[in-house]
Amino acid sequence: MDIIQNLKNIRESVPENVALVAVSKTKPADMVKELYGVGQLDFGENKVQELVDKQQLLPETVRWHMIGHLQTNKVKFIAPFVHLVHGVDSLKLLRVINKEGEKNNRMIGCLFQMHIAREESKFGLDQNALEEILRSDEYHEMEYINIQGLMGMATFTDNSEVVRKEFKNLKRIFEEIKKEFFEEKPDFAILSMGMSDDYLIAIEEGSNMIRVGSSIFGRRNYA
């Protein structure tokens, strides 16, 4: 498995404005080092412990993305260094991220995770719930979060039309939210959608950040 070649192939198949987060979950830190060595800076993990362990083994210039569900009691472990939290799906979690940001005297980059898939098991907000958060007084008082956009996952299916519709829907939500709540805030610019099996569709539908794991690192050893 030539992970450097895999990375290059993907990089060359997507437009330059699309950020590529290499999802290194379950893979050893040595593989992360290998890709870092050829200039890859963005890496994604979905477990706090694994994220912290790898962060300690890699240079500080690596940009760590927390792409999984984040429990409030674990925010403190990643707050000092995390680059972007992709899975913000409640005011409660945002409150804790803000508090930990304050403790560490840094703004923490966040994406709201939207529920766009058919499956019920996936985390995420619907548009109404997001708007409720964005209208709340508490949200407006938070000074240590930097909301940079939205993230979503499509249904796990071979039916690419279903996937495309879901991405289209997320792009629509992104544009509506941006217009209504972030007009004067250029930081709200990231639409994180697309994984190994669907990133080309995601980009066609407006993604500018893809999270790719198995197509770079090979299959993971769990279902």
Ligand X SMILES: *Cc1c(COP(=O)(O)O)cnc(C)c1O
35 binds ligand X (CB under 6 A): no
Name which of residues 142 to 181 contact ligand X (CB under 6 A). Answer: 153
109 binds ligand X (CB under 6 A): no
Q: What share of the chain is helix, strand, coil (3-state, %, to 5)?
A: 45, 20, 40
**Which burial class, exposed, middle or buried, applies to 151 when counting CB atoms under 10 A from its CB (0-12, 13-18, 19+)?**
buried
Q: Which residues pair with 150 in a beta bridge?
A: 112, 191
- Whether the CB-CB separation of 192 and 174 falls below 8 Å is answered with no
Structure tokens at 29: 């830190």
The residue among 125 and 142 lying less far from ligand X, judged by its C-beta, is 125
- Give the total of residues touching ligand X (CB under 6 A): 14
**Rounded to an integer, what distance in angstroms lies between the CA atom of residue 184 and that of residue 178?**
9
| Residue from 68, 101, 109, 149 binding ligand X (CB under 6 A) | 68
Judged by CB under 6 A, the residue of 3, 62, 67, 154 near ligand X is 67
Point out the residue whose Cβ comes nearest to ligand X: 213
- Position among 10, 14, 20, 23 found at the interface with ligand X (CB under 6 A): 23
Q: HSE-up of 175 (CA within 13 Å, CB side)?
A: 8
- Which residue matches tokens 């997320």? 170
DSSP bridge partners of 84? 65
Q: Which stretch binds ligand X (CB under 6 A): 98-106, 116-124, 159-167, 191-199?
A: 191-199
Q: With binding defined as CB under 6 A, does residue 19 bind ligand X?
A: no
Give the residue, chosen from 6, 24, 40, 46, that forms a contact with ligand X under the rule CB under 6 A: 46
The reply to whether 27 sits near ligand X by the rule CB under 6 A is no
Q: Which of 55, 77, 67, 60 is nearest to 20 (CA)?
A: 67
Q: Is 25 in the site for ligand X (CB under 6 A)?
A: yes
Task: Report the interface residues with ligand X, using CB under 6 A.
Answer: 23, 25, 46, 67-68, 153, 195-197, 211-215
